[in-house]
Structure formats: C-alpha cells, structure tokens
Structure 1
C-alpha cells in the first residue's frame, strides 16, 4: 500500500513514450515513491503545479526524438524551472535525448548535448534493433538492454558531473549533472527492462540477471543531497 508520506515521483506517460516504459520505471520506484503518471491523457498533466509537489520527474523511453518532441515541447519551460529550482530529472533513452537541446528541454549546462550512440566511432551496436549492450559501470563490465540509446557530450567544466558508465568506445552512457540547484540523471540504455522485455526479443543478459541494481545506483546518485 502506498503511503501518503512517501515522496512523489511523477512519471510521464503519453504519446512520447512506448508501451511498458513508464510502467517498468514505476515498478522499480513504487516501494519508495508515491508514483503518479502525468501527461496529456492522464488525470494530472506536466505543469508548474504538479512539478511543485514532486521530488523526482521521470521522462521514460519512447519513439523517435523528432516525432516525440511536438508532444512534449510545451513542457520544456516548466521542467527547466523545476530542475533549476532544485528538482530532479531522470531521462531514460528518449528521456535522456530530451535532456539535450536540439530538440530538447535544454537541461545540460554549457555546451552539453546528446546524440545517438550507434553513430559514434567504434560503436559496438550500429543499428536500431533491440539488443544488449556492454558497458563499463563504475569500471566494471555490465550488460544492459538497449535500443538506439543516447550518448552524452557533457560540458564537465560548466557544472559538477558524475559519470556512472561509459560504452566500450569511451562515450558516456550514464551520468548525473547539476543544473541550477537541481540535478539531471540520464542514461542511454534501459536498466529498468524486465524479463518480459528480454523474452519478447529473444534476448538474454550475459550478466545472468536484470540490471535493476544499476537503475537504483543511478537513482541514488541523482537523489543524494
């Protein structure tokens, strides 16, 4: 049973997400947070009022960036102010792309921006198929569910930055960076992916387990004071 004393996590669910992405995140947060889905077709939309109640805002995975942007662009000013004033933003895959600026919510200080990992030099994965990608997570080899995920070109001189993971070619795969008084957590792959995701695409994780511990590491890093 959800306790009203729990901090609130707003999870976007709507036309800029794909099936099961918001729910997979919610499943991992529901023991600690009061999860509220927000979006144009939910009881609560994304705006200054709803964000003012939240400890965490999550933008989950979704479809193509250019196709998704028109659905969420109206939220950009409110989300920027929320994070700037101390809020926490978690972007996964598409949500991580949206932390950038072309197009995006423009949450990365200085010259920071986001791009496709699959187009980077020496990328292990070079297509948009659902697969498993190897990472160095805190210098340890791990494998995470992946579908055309993000890489990050962060301006680490512009704000405090913690790199949690890199792809095997050295590109940043997961990080937390300060923005104003708040923080932005971002990850290209999908550590929230459960067994059903893997089974649907006949995939297996070489680690012999799901990547939920990596998700929780990212959350803990993002939420620390």
Structure 2
C-alpha cells in the first residue's frame, strides 16, 4: 500500500478570477488531510513563477474560460511548464474544462475534448458514475463500481486524439445524467467523468463532478494526490 511521505506535500489552490465565489468545500476537504500544506494562489503569483514552490496545483470549480483567460498566455504556459517538469495538476469541474485540449484558453494538458459544448450549462444534480478498474485502484474503491456524486455542469469528456499527447485513462464514466435547461437527454451517459493522464514528466487528474461537495467522497482528492505523487 502506498504511504504518504513524511514531508508535507505543498498544494497550491487557484482562487482568483474564474473560480466559484464559494471555495470552502475544496479548501475544507484539503485541510482535512494533515499530510498537506495548502496555500491559495492568484494569477500574479502564477505568472511570477511561484508554482515552483509546490508539488501540485488544484484548479477548482467556477468557469473554465474565466480561469483560462485570467491566466493569459503567460500564466497558462507557467502551468504547463510546471506539470511538464514533473509536478501535478488536479482539475475539478471548471478545472477539468481548463485542462482539456478543446478551447483557445485550454491548457492542453489532457488529451480530451468536451462533448455537447452548446449545452455546457446543463444544470446541477446528483448523478451515478461507474468506476473503471483503473478508477477503483487509483481512488481506492476496490469493492464499489458505482457511486453517486454531486454534479455542477462539469464537462462531458471524450478522447480528443490530439497528436503529441498520450491518451488519458478513464477512471469513471457517467451512468446517470443531468439534462436540464434544454440539454438533450441521452448524451451524458457513457462519457468520461474522471480522467487521468500524463503530461511531460507530470501527471494530471480531472474530475468533471465534485467529490469535495459529496459527503463520503472527499477522500477522492487525497487518493488523486497520492497517484500524482507516484509520477516517475
């Protein structure tokens, strides 16, 4: 079984333009793990190169476009360089949109596209997801193929087939769906809910839904960090 290192793992959480007004859930979830030293960062900190002080960065919910545009070309390249050199990235909802390879403001860290972009604002709810064998291993749910998780208009991910990026591992797919606000039914089931990939020497793990807002699933973040820390 993988064991945490004795040294604290320094985690940066982006909390500037584009993030949700209420980030208490993700900060509370991370604060529950004594192995972590968590600090919030602004755009100016990232552009100034402060990511180098950390082992990984978390981009939380909000607006992927808002986060990406706020970072600008300079900030986005700083994040890419950070991961390329062996560090980690966790994206939650908006952070998963941001990590994709599908928008002008994307980080292009994950070889993923977003399906049904026209109906990205498809509503909120609780949905069932099914963990793959890789997902059961990474997220430490060996006996639980299906779980219910909070959904807040996260991306419906699918392989992008982008040259130069390795394919991602599908850790979970959507079984249920949220199809409100005019979104068509039948699109969401089967799309990727949780994806993990490599970028350069680093690792990327993205949650379309919100484990930090789902009682009992907050430890998904801890296991995601553990997987990232195992990068060669």
Pick the TM interval, shorter chain: 0.7 to 0.9
**What does the per-residue CA deviation read over 1:70-96, in whole Å, with 9 as the maximum and x for residues that have no partner?**
212341010011111101010000000
Distance 2:116 2:202 in 1: 25
Q: 1:108 to 1:34 in 2, by over 3 A?
A: same
Q: 1:180 to 1:127 in 2, by over 3 A?
A: closer
Q: What TM-score comes out, normalization by structure 1 length? A: 0.75
Q: CA RMSD in A?
A: 2.7
Distance 2:200 2:132 in 1: 25
Query: Per the alignment, in what secondary structure is the counterpart of residue 149 of structure 1?
Result: coil
List runs of 5+ in structure 1 lacking aligned partners.
Answer: 120-125, 195-208
Distance 1:39 1:173 in 2: 27
Q: Where does residue 68 of structure 2 map in the other structure?
A: 69
Q: Pairwise mapping of residues 51-70 of structure 1 onto structure 2 (< 5 A)? A: 51-63=51-63, 65-70=64-69
Structure number with the bigger relative contact order (C-alpha 8 A, sep ≥ 6) is: 2
Q: Where does residue 38 of structure 2 map in the other structure?
A: 35
Q: What TM-score comes out, normalization by structure 2 length? A: 0.73
Matched pairs, number: 195
1:186 to 206, 214, 223: 206
Q: Shift of residue 52 of structure 1?
A: 1.0
Q: Where does residue 197 of structure 1 map in the other structure?
A: none
List runs of 5+ in structure 2 lacking aligned partners.
Answer: 1-5, 134-144, 176-188
Q: Where does residue 99 of structure 1 map in the other structure?
A: 99
**What does the per-residue CA deviation read over 1:153-188, in whole Å, with 9 as the maximum and x for residues that have no partner?**
234994263321111222111011001110111010
- Give 1 or 2: higher helix fraction: 2
Q: 1:161 to 1:66 in 2, by over 3 A?
A: closer
User: After alignment, is 175-184 or 48-57 more displaced?
Assistant: 48-57
Query: Per the alignment, in what secondary structure is the counterpart of residue 186 of structure 1?
Result: strand
2:122 to 106, 119, 128: 128
Distance 1:5 1:215 in 2: 18
Q: Where does residue 147 of structure 1 map in the other structure?
A: 152
